[in-house]
């Protein structure tokens, strides 16, 4: 099983503010959907709450919460990282994606195999959620896309990068 993190960061590694994304870039949303569809996605309860239409379709949604009573529409509730890693759907999958937010990325960062990063060419003021620093002693860049220019569907320029753990 390949454990992947997928994230969109700004130039200072910010990922969110007030439990919302910093921006919605159409090209990034499309890339996210293409990469994650058909694979289990793992997220924190706050990220689940922030999804505009609830659970993501055509993906097994797994939500981490410390509240043992909590149930979610169309999603599996887990109370620990171990519980997630022991789910049959995770053990038996070819690939799964950790989709945020800050707390959940931190928990999975040291055990992830890959990072699918969208780099937004902008610095957002007052962000309150961040992605861990990617240390090049531990990660190598596998691929980098060309930069996509801002347009009517994408407020800021951005590019994609894929990192692979080297140790
Ligand atoms: N840019 C991106 O790619 C991206 C992607 C996703 C999210 N985000 C942003 O990230 C921000 C949210 O991040 P966040 O850190 O505040 O929230 P989060 O990571 O989405 O969720 C945190 C919650 O997860 C649960 N949790 C955390 N650790 C746990 C553990 N070890 N065991 C069981 N449950 C655990 C807790 O839920 P309970 O409180 O229910 O116990 C905790 O409050 C938002 O701004 C969102 O828009 C950005």
pLDDT one-digit tens code per residue, 12-55: 999 999 999 999 999 999 999 999 999 999 999 999 999 999 99
Ligand 1 centroid to Cα of residue 59, in Å, is: 19
* Number of domains present in the structure of the chain: 1
- Confidence at residue 40, expressed as pLDDT on a 0 to 100 scale: 99
Residue in 2, 7, 12, 29 with CA at minimum distance from that of residue 101: 7
**What CATH number is attached to the domain comprising 64?**
3.40.430.10
* Residue 40 in contact with ligand 1 by CB distance below 6 A: no
Say how many CA atoms lie within 13 Å of 167 toward its Cβ.
4
User: Would strands 114-120 and 2-9 be described as parallel, antiparallel, or unpaired?
Assistant: parallel
**Residue-averaged pLDDT of the chain:** 98
Give the range of the structural domain holding residue 30, as residue numbers without chain letter: 2-165
How far, in Å, CA of 81 to CA of 92, rounded? 16
* Residue 84 in contact with ligand 1 by CB distance below 6 A: no
Residue where the block lists tokens 């993906």: 59
> What are the tokens at 160?
């994609």
State the pTM of this model. Answer: 0.98
pLDDT in tens, 127-144: 999 999 999 999 999 999
User: pLDDT confidence of 167, banded at 50, 70, 90?
Assistant: confident
């Amino acid at each position: 099983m390949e454990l992947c993190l997928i994230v969109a960061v700004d130039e200072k590694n910010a990922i969110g503010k007030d439990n919302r994304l910093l921006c919605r870039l159409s090209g990034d949303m499309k890339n996210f959907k293409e990469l994650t569809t058909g694979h289990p996605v793992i997220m924190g309860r706050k990220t689940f709450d922030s999804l505009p239409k609830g659970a993501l379709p055509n993906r097994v949604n797994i939500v981490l919460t410390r509240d043992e009573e909590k149930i979610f529409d169309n999603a599996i509730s887990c109370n620990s990282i171990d519980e997630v890693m022991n789910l049959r759907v995770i053990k038996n999958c070819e690939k799964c994606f950790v989709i945020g937010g800050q707390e959940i990325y931190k928990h999975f960062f040291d055990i992830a195999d890959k990072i699918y990063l969208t780099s937004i060419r902008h610095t957002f003021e007052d962000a309150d959620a961040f992605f861990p620093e990617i240390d090049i002693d531990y990660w190598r860049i596998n691929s980098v896309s060309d930069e996509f220019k801002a347009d009517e569907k994408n407020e800021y320029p951005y590019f994609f990068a894929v990192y692979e753990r080297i140790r």
